[in-house]
Amino acid sequence: MHRNGDFMYKINFDNPIHVHFIGIGGISMSGLAMILCNKNFTVSGSDSARSPLTTHLESLGCHIAYPQSADNITPDIDLVVYTAAIHPDNPEYAQAVRAGIPMMARAELLGQIMANYKTAVNIAGTHGKTTTTSMLSEILLAADADPTISVGGILKDIGGNIRIGRSDLFVTEACEYTNSFLSFNPTMNIILNVKEDHLDFFKDLADIRASFRRFVERLPEGGTLIINSDIEDYEYFCKGLNVKVITVGSDPDKSTYSARGIAYDDLGRCHYTLLKNGEPYGIGEESSIDLMVPGIHNVYNSLAAIAAALELDIPIAAIKKGLAEFYGTNRRFERKGVFNGVTVVDDYAHHPDEIKATLAAAGHYPHKTLWVAFQPHLYSRTKLLLDRFAAELSAADKVILADIYAARETNTYGISSEDLMNKIKALGTECYYFHTFDEIEKFLQKNCINGDLLITMGAGDIYKVGEDLVK
């Protein structure tokens, strides 16, 4: 955060100010702008072009300029907020520095906003954040708890990624990348898993674990940590801290909440008996949990959501109802439709552990041949985890690879999808690599047959392949 003299800005809902957002049209930035707008802040911003999100903000009374320009930084602005994508040479950023206006990054603003709520629940982990946040959100909505929610994907029941409630309860995803979550002010933290990822930022797994430990240290005295006891040496994250620790996981002997008798329906969706301290929870049918999303990984996501809800005094009936009404978020084993009798599912999986979980879920989903059209995400991740990507993808019957989705990187790693294809082939799995989506679509149209399952997979825009085929 930039200081103006010795002054460090604090957001106080009782003292609304004028906040200007550089890049207000991003999905996360626009959500934070909506919250401030709702709290009677004066909100302005800028972006490269008008979009449905900026049009909606304008309808709420926000003043938005296109494109970005130093002239947009006016003397009446009290605080400037920017995203990680904005660099010091950005004309508005540079002008705000020259004018001595206090500035903060998007993650810092999110942390400042949650400090205005009595209860702030932060859901963290290398994967499963969006799903677990959405599960907990559905539970809280079923209980009429009226939370404010900030989720990383589109949750259909709130019509987007943000919901502004009237209660003193705030729920958000907490991302570890660039240590964003170390700017947050939680009262309850959920840690789903801690794995190797974002190795373009973190040095190694030990560095990632240290970051998660510091995240837990953000909790106040007497705050609550819900953590997966399957994480190696999970006690490391809370050792010596005065916080309440609740565990969830596969082992009833070391987990406050666990699952027994996990069974699948014909769409791979799970049913299980909820255990607390090794015994069925509650009376009669209270311990019987039905999920509407496939995969055993979602059993553990749901256990974390249940633990949080129970800690928030949500009745078990509302918890069961919320989970039974959660059909997933965009790009999480999302059924897109059918072409030529082939079912198309899209999934955001872009890390070996996520691929493993998705393909395990697909194993319980009806199909003849399982096809995966995978678009690797980031040169650094592909290079560093190449063998693991090959091992997990080889669980599919047939794999199609697209070019690596570069996102924020340039290819200084000397890696391509051809390297991944060769590794997968060496493991005995049929694999093909095409440079364009058009080539991939034509190949799949010609080779997939009635009864097959096609999963488009990755954090880039590979979902367009499935959408085109279904059209």
Q: What are phi and psi of 128, to 5 degrees?
A: 95, 0
Where in the sequence numbering do the catalytic residues fall?
A: 129-130, 173
323: helix, coil or strand? helix
* Max intra-chain CA distance, the chain: 68
Q: Is 61 annotated as a binding residue?
A: no
Check pLDDT > 80 for residue 208.
yes
What b/e string do you get for 392-428 counting C-beta neighbours within 10 Å, with b at 16 or more? Answer: bbbbbebbbbbbbbeeebeeebebbbebbbebbbeee
Q: Is 125 annotated as a binding residue?
A: yes
> CA gyration radius for the chain?
23
Cβ burial of 99 (10 Å; 0-12, 13-18, 19+) is middle
User: What is the rounded CA–CA span in Å between residue 393 and residue 431?
Assistant: 10
Fold adopted by 117-325: UDP-N-acetylmuramoyl-L-alanine:D-glutamate ligase (3.40.1190)
Fold adopted by 334-470: Protein-Tyrosine Phosphatase; Chain A (3.90.190)
Q: Is 126 annotated as a binding residue?
A: yes
CA distances from 342 to 198, 357, 368 (A): 34, 21, 10
Average the pLDDT over 194-199 and give the result: 76
User: What is the rounded CA–CA span in Å between residue 383 and residue 187?
Assistant: 37
Residue 149: closest CA among 129, 127, 125, 178: 129
CATH 3.40.1190.10 occupies which residues in the chain?
Answer: 117-325
Upstream peptide bond of 52 is cis (omega within 30 degrees of 0):
no
Superfamily of domain 18-105, CATH level 4:
NAD(P)-binding Rossmann-like Domain (3.40.50.720)
CATH 3.40.50.720 occupies which residues in the chain?
Answer: 18-105
CATH 3.90.190.20 occupies which residues in the chain?
Answer: 334-470
Give residue-wise pLDDT tens across range 160-171: 778 999 999 999
pLDDT of residue 187: 98
Give residue-wise pLDDT tens across range 312-340: 999 999 999 999 999 876 677 788 889 98
Q: Do the Cβ atoms of 153 and 161 come closer than 8 Å?
A: yes
Q: Is 128 annotated as a binding residue?
A: yes
Q: Is 130 annotated as a binding residue?
A: yes
pTM of the model: 0.81
Q: Is 358 annotated as a binding residue?
A: no
Q: Is 247 annotated as a binding residue?
A: no
Give residue-wise pLDDT tens across range 54-73: 999 999 999 999 999 999 99
User: What is the rounded CA–CA span in Å between residue 384 and residue 289?
Assistant: 38
pLDDT of residue 375: 96
